[in-house]
Amino acid sequence: MSTTILTVDDSRTMREMLKMALSQAGYRVVQAEDGVHGLEVLRQETPQVIVTDINMPRMDGFGFIEQVRADDAYRGIPILVLTTESDAVKKDRARRAGATGWIVKPFDPTKLIDAIRRVAA
């Protein structure tokens, strides 16, 4: 059974780039367009890793991470933040919300896969 990864990003281009990179590495990818949609997808899927953007409409990445961490069923799922942001304050806020790691866009597919393998192990 392949590892399922949930990607949460409001950019269709970024979702497609993630899907291509992760699918080629053998992962099953489920996608959401923002934090609200991400929570809806979580009700039907149990991903082994979540990759989320920060800046999104309806519910940003911080709110999404907090909501995921508030539910015991999802508390153990590693969450990687993938964003254009590199601000230390935002990184700290994401960590406090429950993020496992932080990757800056544009991403290197090899480094992304390595990060996923590290947290999914």
Listed residue (104, 99, 108) closest to 49, CA to CA: 99
pLDDT over threshold 80, residue 20? yes
pTM score: 0.95
**Beta strands across the sheet bearing 49-52:** 28-32, 4-8, 49-52, 79-83, 101-104
Quick: pLDDT tens for 22-35: 999 999 999 999 99
Quick: pLDDT tens for 48-97: 999 999 999 999 999 999 999 999 999 999 999 998 888 899 999 999 99
The domains of the chain, with CATH numbers, are: 4-92+102-112 (3.40.50.2300)
Q: How high is the pLDDT of residue 1?
A: 57
Mean pLDDT of the chain: 94
Q: What's the CA gap between 101 and 82, in Å, rounded? A: 9
Percent of the chain at pLDDT > 90 equals 88
